[in-house]
Structure 1
């Protein structure tokens, strides 16, 4: 089987390429990425072909999709704050780009597994969030991801295209970048704690999230591709945990062994107050799925961060020795 991963040099995409390349039934993995938020270095040591290009290029998509057996569509312009700064750019990549991907898949009858987001639930207060709830997006990003999944499911209904749309909930783990204005909460907190700088929490910190470790996510995605799993509606990819953001900070501080200097800032527009998934449909479709406990996943993520040069402390001068021979 040959598999195309759009956004394949990004955080989730590169981890998925690594997982797919390890599966004996996968012959070739192609990562398509414009490197606007992904990095070629994420694919170092991975048996995958990187094609630098955009999902907004229909001719390129048609050429690549004609030679694969499945597509995992992860390419997107992420981040709620980024969408507030430039709503049109988020719409163009997330909505229009998805249609280009789907058109190529429709022409060549190639199944699609695609990434939506828990943000589509938005202002709906019911917990846990189950897939039959209405959607009330609170940001341009959330609206664009709702468009993504809606187009995917519509192509399945209209053209008989085999499709599966996952709603991701706060995925975290190795390769997730930090140190920029749009960093997700886990890498942003780890970065601050390792550098000894204040941890910025927007709002009171009592907002809750359902965190999902990247290893679990990519195993489910790979399984979906190999077993050709489809579903006429969206599927939550999370397990129903509910962790206050301030508690996440304390857990990370304990793992790193550094006190957290928490600085509260004004809540951000478009942020959802509480997020928690119902995982019933996920377990029905993937009965062997295993959740990685948050503490274990955070420890693995911190371990990866400590391998990066910018987080490796220099040897103190008093420990340096000079050998004279």
Structure 2
């Protein structure tokens, strides 16, 4: 209920306020979760959406609200479907923390990182600087109005590989605590970013290993 209140009603509140204030454009933070657990990879914007959680339903509803406000009121909107964003200043203690800060914090504290499932599930992990680039471009790109598009790196990596790379950076061998898979989790995710490249000029600059190293450096000095 709280997720619906924030992600659906909250989005509508923002759109109404933007319309009433004469705001030119709203960039909406959507999610790759709208695609669900389809085996088709990479995931592209022409695919049917199949959300598997209330959160994913709420994000898809936000996209539809944006589209309606563009068509009815002329408010420029752009929806960006983020793929597994990570980077400095993600709180590893948060209930909604991404898996990477939790992994890195566990390794730094000489604890077992927890993996739900076999660790072979894959994600298109996207460093936050790449997302910032996309946001800034989406604020002005003339051909992006009324569109939804993927923001990722076009590369996928398994959770086991994440821990392997993190272990190499820390010169340790992770002792992983494997647990039962969680219901609603997507098995594999990979973004087709060609639409964002075409409409935004999006060009992700920070590859995964470099982003992981920067995130680790931030955690070491207590930046959360």
- TM-score bracket, normalised by the shorter chain, equals over 0.9
Residue 224 in structure 1 maps to residue 224 in structure 2: no
Structure 1: which 5+ runs fail to align?
1-87, 311-325
> What SS is found at the alignment partner of 1:174?
coil
> What SS is found at the alignment partner of 2:3?
helix
- The structure, 1 or 2, with the larger RCO (C-alpha pairs under 8 Å, 6+ apart) is 2
> What SS is found at the alignment partner of 2:115?
strand
Q: What do you get for the CA RMSD once the two structures are aligned?
A: 1.6
Give the equivalent residue in structure 1 for 2:219. Answer: 305
Give the equivalent residue in structure 1 for 2:22. Answer: 109
Cα shift readout 1:209-263 (whole Å, capped 9, x = no counterpart) = 0011101111221232245663323110112111111111111111122221101
* Alignment map for 1:1-325 (pairs within 5 Å): 88-110=1-23, 111-227=25-141, 230-287=144-201, 289-308=203-222
Question: How many residues get paired?
Answer: 223
> What SS is found at the alignment partner of 2:30?
strand
Q: Distance in 1 between matches of 2:94 and 2:196?
A: 32
Q: Distance in 2 between matches of 1:163 and 1:179?
A: 33
* Structure (1 or 2) with the larger CA radius of gyration: 1
In the alignment, is the contact (CA less than 8 A) between 1:137 and 1:143 conserved in 2? yes
Structure 2: which 5+ runs fail to align?
none
Q: Distance in 2 between matches of 1:127 and 1:262?
A: 28
Q: Distance in 1 between matches of 2:85 and 2:6?
A: 20
Cα shift readout 1:150-202 (whole Å, capped 9, x = no counterpart) = 11122112221111000000000011110344321110100100001001000
Cα shift readout 1:57-87 (whole Å, capped 9, x = no counterpart) = xxxxxxxxxxxxxxxxxxxxxxxxxxxxxxx
> What SS is found at the alignment partner of 1:141?
helix
In the alignment, is the contact (CA less than 8 A) between 1:164 and 1:229 conserved in 2? no
Cα shift readout 1:13-48 (whole Å, capped 9, x = no counterpart) = xxxxxxxxxxxxxxxxxxxxxxxxxxxxxxxxxxxx
Could you say if the C-alpha distance between residues 272 and 163 of structure 1 is closer, same or farther in structure 2, counting changes exceeding 3 Å? same
Q: Distance in 1 between matches of 2:61 and 2:163?
A: 33
> What SS is found at the alignment partner of 1:234?
strand
Q: Distance in 2 between matches of 1:229 and 1:214?
A: 24
Q: Distance in 2 between matches of 1:309 and 1:116?
A: 26
Could you say if the C-alpha distance between residues 309 and 100 of structure 1 is closer, same or farther in structure 2, counting changes exceeding 3 Å? closer
Displacement of 1:127 in angstroms is 0.6
> What SS is found at the alignment partner of 2:79?
strand
Could you say if the C-alpha distance between residues 256 and 228 of structure 1 is closer, same or farther in structure 2, counting changes exceeding 3 Å? farther
Could you say if the C-alpha distance between residues 284 and 190 of structure 1 is closer, same or farther in structure 2, counting changes exceeding 3 Å? same
